[in-house]
Amino acid sequence: MQKRKLGNLEVSALGLGCMGMTHAYGQAPTRADMISLLRSAVERGVTFFDTAEVYGPFNNEELVGEALAPLRGQVVIATKFGFAPDPKGGPRWSELDSRPEHIRAVTEASLKRLKTDAIDLLYQHRVDPNVPIEDVAGTVGELIKEGKVKHFGLSEAGPDTIRRAHAVQPVTALQSEYSLWTREPEAEILPLLEELGIGFVPFSPLGRGFLTGKMDESTQFDSKDFRNSLPRFTAEARKANQVLVDLLGQVAQQKGATPAQVALAWLLAQKPWIVPIPGTTKLHRLDENLGAVALQLTPEDLAGIDAAAANITVQGARYPEHLARQAKG
């Protein structure tokens, strides 16, 4: 497996997003199967694993902690803080809380669930408008000095927030959605990250499964599937956006690859400090995704993809309005 650098943190060129193993996409697989998948990923050279306290909540970190504890010296684990606690137990997606005392409490709890002495990369999950980012960065900086955290990250943060945070505590990585159908980071974020030496971790690099070509407007999701609430996943939007999947399919056919591999290889080709974290619950999909690292897209391939994509207008917002507000950090 090739390696890449996020700031000065070395990880595998592709990471593994673990959210879907317990959360968001309908009926979760068995814990035993996911422990096996996580360990199989390490065997295949994956060293970078992404989780968060809010996934589940809590059981995703517990799963990752149990699976990777015997392999802890070989892996980099990233987790996140930033959502307010629910009196009924667990954090709430609907409310933010990055007060310093809350960051500390979440970190201590995450350390226990992850069965580790230090979190390799700790992200602020969403920017909290009620807490100055300097206070957030300073608190994580203190945790780094205490040896409880190794690196600081942000998620879905805007340019001003990134710059202000980085001035207080160097930011190792930004995690935001980025793929062929979500290209907003290209305008301001990628140039800023390059300027500051910050790595980029695209989440949902396969468009929450849409860019794999394995779904269309007739696909029915589980009643508990998060995608039911996303404007981009209405049947009408999926039908309209099929043209983008068709483009990936054409390139894949030319390359003897799959649409998913082309989508990931396109991301990897954008910058050497980009590390996508596709998620999966199936071993054959993990192997398919990892095959993207060896897929070489020529400058002509990339130019052709960009030229064709420029004529495609993606239909549907990423999030419903209440979640979209949180992603404007």
CA neighbor of 172 nearest in space, from 185, 188, 157, 184 = 157
Catalytic residue numbers, as ranges: 55
**Residue 101: partners with Cβ closer than 8 Å, 6 or more residues away:** none
At residue 10, the 3 state secondary structure works out as strand
CA neighbor of 19 nearest in space, from 72, 47, 68, 61 = 61
Q: Cα–Cα distances in Å, from 327 out to 75, 128, 139, 320?
A: 28, 10, 22, 11
| Distance of alpha carbon 67 from alpha carbon 69, whole angstroms | 6
- Token pair 């602020």 is found at 124
**Residue 75: partners with Cβ closer than 8 Å, 6 or more residues away:** 42, 47, 48, 49, 68
